[in-house]
Amino acid sequence: MCSMASYAVPVLPNMLLAALPAAEWEQVRRNLKPIFMPFGDVLYEPAMPTSHIYFPTTSVISISCVLADCRSDAVALIGREGFASVEVFLGSDSALCRAVVLSEGWGYRIRRELLNRECWQGGSMHGVLLPYAQSYITQVAQTSVCNRHHSIDQQLCRWLLMFSDRQASNELPITHEHIAELMGVRRESVTEAAHKLQIAGCIRYRRGHISVVDRSGLEAHSCECYGVVKRETDRLLEMSRRSVKVAAAQVAAYQIRKERSDPSFANASQNIA
């Protein structure tokens, strides 16, 4: 279970929340609960009512599609660039996949009704989160294509690069067994692929830990799927930032028009300030 904290989280911010204007962030943070997410913690299961949205800061969450016989494949990783429970944000009352903490760390959670209120009261929140939802869908779709058409060696490179991006570090606390579970393949296949990458000088590994020592080499051994998702994620994150600037400019323009047409409004604004 996620452990709650009543104090400020001493971590890097979630990139989506960090894109909000300062005044809006101060309002939203009252409804955000800092939580520590232990490794292996299940945040939600398929078809179960989902009442919270999760914003990782230093934690990394894996999203897996689960079959009737309990086999599962990961379809996405979520770190501080995004949020979990995208389906709920888009209007569903339950998630389609399982969300599990892959790398323990901090984050925030917020009740869905409180997030909905923040999104629809005219601020920047909806415009910030919606592009990420598109990025998430792109990641899921590209993962499906990659699993079907690319080698285990290429897929391993892609997962390591994605994990490194979301961990914001080249030191990855993960075992071959956990990678095999993500990819839906045998552990021996992952060990063989990792051995090739270690010989090539791209990574070093020991029990429960992988170090990325040559990121460029790892990218060269990967398929195009990593680049497709990375570029789209970067593009849409920039779109979120631009939407905040546009919204702020619109509010400022509205205030100017209002002050010019209604002097009493200008006096009221000055009194509030």
Q: How do residues 52-80 score in pLDDT, each as one tens digit?
A: 999 999 999 999 999 888 888 999 999 99
Sign of CA dihedral 158, 57, 92, 19: negative
- Run of H or E residues at 197: helix 187-199
In the numeric block, the tokens 């989902």 are attached to 50
What's the pLDDT score for residue 121? 83
**Would you give the DSSP letter of residue 94?**
B
Sign of CA dihedral 58, 229, 215, 204: positive
pLDDT band at 4 (very low <50, low <70, confident <90, very high): low
- CA pair distance 220, 133, nearest whole angstrom: 28
Give, rounded to a whole angstrom, the gap between the first and last alpha carbons of the chain: 44
What's the pLDDT score for residue 7? 45
Q: How do residues 204-224 score in pLDDT, each as one tens digit?
A: 999 889 999 999 999 999 999
pLDDT band at 266 (very low <50, low <70, confident <90, very high): low
What's the pTM?
Answer: 0.85
Is residue 60 within 8 A of residue 166, CB to CB? The reply is yes
